[in-house]
Amino acid sequence: MKITRPLWESHGHAGSLQGQDAFVSLLLPCRHFIDVGAGHGIFKNNTWNLERAGWRGLLFDRNPRAIENCRLHRQSQALCIDARTFDFAACFEEHKLPKILDYVSFDVDAATIEAVANFPFEEYEFLVMTIEHDLWSRGPEARDAVRARMSKFPHYQLAAPDVCWAKDKPVEDWFINTRYFPSASLNAMNAEYPWWAVIQQLAGEKPGEPA
């Protein structure tokens, strides 16, 4: 499978920055998503391109202006909430979501530890999750807390640890549910184009520069 540069390359960073949307679309058909920390909703957003491809889901952010922009430009419902205290389980029940969520995106910056602790992983599974921990700029605390939380669920595997936005600058962990996907170990820490190397490994290509 040939992977091409994502749309943000020529559209002012519309879509994900580290290829999260490409990673998810390689694993899953058009389904639904949970976007926690949706921000602007288009620029640097992990679900914008998925929605353009027919996906639907729920967008969450604590910034009212960001949510207003999501409501103007996105088709999925956008909710202004604090991910550290919000009752996600009640919201998912209200929206009649299945107990198995296809894709969960976490990008909540300094609120990562509390938001992940608050998310109802005991009640809702995911198939794929990408989560920003900003190891290179914030240190290991958030990353270690995320991994400790996920280690309580043996069916989740850290398929791509410390995905980098640039060489030697790790920002994210990408998890898969091994009940639904084969075990995978994707490593691109030393690649010249780190996050592209992860996606190309998944697609069965030799890691290198994106075309």
Nearest-5° angle of CA 61, CA 162, CA 113? 40
Percent of the chain with pLDDT over 90: 58
pLDDT at 168: 78
> Over the stretch 81-109, which tens digit does the pLDDT of each residue have?
999 999 999 999 999 999 999 999 999 99
Cβ-based burial of 190 (10 A; exposed 0-12, middle 13-18, buried ≥19): exposed
Tens digit of each residue's pLDDT (9 = 90 or more) over 173-206 = 999 998 887 766 665 444 444 566 666 676 665 4
pLDDT of residue 197: 67
Which candidate, 174, 176, 183, places its Cα nearest to that of 19? 174
Q: Please, are residues 62 and 85 in contact by the beta-carbon 8 Å criterion? A: no
- SS3 for 55-97 is CEEEEEECCHHHHHHHHHHCCCEEEECCCCCCCHHHHHHHCCC
Q: Hunting for tokens 């729920």 — which residue is that?
A: 58
Residue 200: which H helix or E strand, with range? helix 194-203
At 10 the pLDDT is 35
Q: For residue 17, what pLDDT band results from cuts at 50, 70 and 90? A: confident
In the chain, the percentage of residues whose pLDDT exceeds 70 is: 79
Is pLDDT of 59 > 50? yes
Among residues 51, 50, 43, the alpha carbon closest in space to that of 13 is found at 43
pLDDT higher than 50, residue 12: no
Q: Which two tokens stand for residue 94?
A: 């209200």
pTM of the model: 0.86
